[in-house]
Amino acid sequence: MSAQAAVTVNRPVSEVFGYWHDVTNLATFMNHLEDVTVLGGGRSRWTAKAPAGRVVTWEAEITADVPEELIAWHSLPGAAVDNTGRVRFRPAPGDRGTEVHVDLRYRPPGGRLGSVIATLAGENPTQQLRADLRRFKQVMETGEVVRSEGSPEGTKASRQLRRRPARPQAGSVSS
């Protein structure tokens, strides 16, 4: 499976690159990540949520690290989630911050069957990556991920869809 997405963040390249480069920050905006632990020597241990309530852990290493331009990595042999990826950073046109381009390739746990199960469970890699990048943008620009749980409807927005539009009472509209 693969996913590519990009986002423009209204922060300087040095800040955006620096935040991403500290891989322990990734769990703050990547929805499926529970934890990333730095092991040293460019290696890290990743723990993520998988379909059916499972948790998977694997180790990865940095394969390219160009300050303020590129971070690339791959999982180590025997990883529960075989993956490679890269993130490119560049100044946005018109001095509007930083463009962040992400390219991920991975084999979900369980091989083809795992891919089918993930798809049936509504897991779309590109949509997930775009949502992760939206949260990254929020963290970088506001310092937090904006959530809507505080609205009167909470997470049950379907209630809003069932509401009928307001109608004037008979005889109250003048022509």
Residue 89: pLDDT above 50?
A: yes
Residue 79: pLDDT above 50?
A: yes
Give the strand pairing for 98-107 and 55-66.
unpaired
Rg, the chain, Cα only: 21
3-state secondary structure (DSSP) of residue 48: strand
Contacts of residue 150, defined as CB under 8 A and 6 or more positions apart, other chains included, come to none
What's the DSSP call for residue 92?
P
pLDDT in tens, 20-38: 999 999 999 999 899 999 9
Q: What is the overall mean pLDDT for the chain?
A: 82
Domains in the chain, CATH or no CATH each: 2-162 (3.30.530.20)
The pTM for the full model equals 0.76
For residue 7, give both structure tokens. Answer: 């986002």
How many residues are present in the chain? 175
Place of tokens 């290696």: 43
pLDDT band at 169 (very low <50, low <70, confident <90, very high): very low
pLDDT in tens, 28-78: 999 989 999 999 999 999 999 877 788 989 999 999 999 999 999 999 998
